[in-house]
Amino acid sequence: MTNKLKMFAIITAINLSSFGCNINSPNNSETSGNINNTVMTESAPTQRETILTSLTTEPATTTSIVETSTTTTTIATTIEPVITTIEIKREYPPFSLSNIPAYSGSPYVEVNGNVPYFEEYPTEVFEVYSPLDSLGRCGVAYANVCIDIMPTEPRGEIGMIKPSGWQTIKYNGIIEGNYLYNRCHLIGYQLAGENANELNLITGTRYMNTIGMEPFENKVANYVESYDAHVLYRVSPIYEGDNLVASGVLMEASSLEDRGAGLEFCVYCYNVQPGIGIDYSNGDSWLNQISTTEAIQEEPDSESSQGNNTQTYILNTNTKKFHYPSCPSVEQMKYKNKQEYTGTREEIIDMGYYPCKRCDP
């Protein structure tokens, strides 16, 4: 027993001396406690460096810790969002308005089986906007939506922007908010933080903006914020001919991390306002007071020939639509675009014209 006690005392003395402690000091237990507390906290950095050096055979340990901290800071700064250096195509998708059914009460319709037309899936953070065309119209807006490009402050003023076809028209008591048109963001403000960007604002009805587009914008925003994810997002305004007001917008989205498994859609939103007629060539509008049925039942113009299907129509050479002479749209038509034609309906269609959806000639 005596030999075991002697051996224990020797081992204890060696261990304590290796920490630079004095066996005869009455403060040994306090010193050990201070060592433990100092290693776990950074409240006394000078003591921490001294103690770490005394506890290791590698004097460079302190330097190594400082270098690790510096490296971590460098990594954090290298993941700042960078507008992409790759070339992003701003081309319209292979979409045809002729495949879209006429508006029948739903603010949107699924297109291409609800699958986007994306051919590439770039992972870099980007947002691109097409330049205005010769008529001052917006084109495709395209972005990799993520937390990095979302706004961090309230939306600013955009009233100074006048998109193509813009008119300030009110229908009090008929439209929520009374105004027919909104300055519609192609890529919603909540997704990219774009304020008065004329390349991202089109003339859109209140109905399309809030009932058609906004629910899909919310889906993208909620998905990105919920999962800190990235969503490839493209919005394309669709125009007929030289019309200044878009007939609608094509909206496409696909979550990037899982190639659309989490979020994906491809829809066309109609730029219409129930109860209001719109001339898309210039933005003129009117309150619908006759139904399509009444328009169909209107008697042919007096110039119609009897005994055959020949009658007089009014052609809009800009929109490529033809009308009955009594159609309200004729009164809204610009004189330079108006042409009178007497012949059959089939002849006009063969000339490349489409029947007006309002009077349905």
Residue 78: partners with Cβ closer than 8 Å, 6 or more residues away: none
- pLDDT band (50, 70, 90) for residue 343: confident
* Mean pLDDT of all residues belonging to the chain: 76
Structure tokens at 224: 């990105």
In angstroms, the first-to-last Cα distance of the chain is 118
Top-confidence residue, 23 or 216: 216
Three-class secondary structure assignment of 279-294: CCCCCCEEECCCCHHH
Three-class secondary structure assignment of 129-198: ECCCCCCCCCCCEEEEECHHHCCCCCCCCCCCCCCCCCCCCECCCCCCCCECEEEEECCCHHHHCCCCCH
Determine the residue type at 177.
G
- The pLDDT of residue 158 is 93
Structure tokens at 198: 């004329």
Q: Which H or E run contains 37?
A: helix 28-40
Residue-wise pLDDT for 315-338, tens only, equals 888 888 888 887 777 777 777 788
- The pLDDT of residue 295 is 35
- pLDDT band (50, 70, 90) for residue 176: confident
**Mean pLDDT calculated for residue range 165-173:** 94
- The pLDDT of residue 292 is 36
Top-confidence residue, 240 or 39: 240
Q: Where are the beta strands (DSSP E) in the chain?
A: 108-110, 127-129, 141-145, 181-185, 201-205, 231-238, 248-255, 264-270, 276-278, 285-287, 311-316, 321-323, 338-343, 354-355
Burial of 203 (0-12, 13-18, 19+ CB in 10 A): buried
Structure tokens at 64: 């190594």
- The pLDDT of residue 289 is 62
297, 336 in Cβ contact below 8 A?
no
Of the listed ranges 95-99, 255-259, 297-301, the one predicted with least confidence: 297-301
Which residues partner with 267 through β-bridges?
A: 110, 251
% of the chain exceeding 90 in pLDDT:
48
Of the listed ranges 10-14, 72-76, 156-160, the one predicted with least confidence: 72-76
- The pLDDT of residue 87 is 61
Top-confidence residue, 2 or 218: 218
Structure tokens at 241: 């001919």
Residue-wise pLDDT for 42-69, tens only, equals 333 333 333 233 333 333 333 333 333 3
Asked if the model's pLDDT at residue 127 lies above 90, the reply is yes
Asked if the model's pLDDT at residue 97 lies above 80, the reply is yes
Separation CA 225–CA 228 (nearest Å) = 5
Top-confidence residue, 287 or 28: 287
Structure tokens at 193: 């933080």
> Among residues 69, 77, 17, which one has the least CA distance to residue 45?
69
Measured CA distances, 94 to 5, 87, 138 (Å): 90, 20, 18
Q: Is 94 helix (H, G, I), strand (E, B) or coil?
A: coil
Asked if the model's pLDDT at residue 89 lies above 70, the reply is no
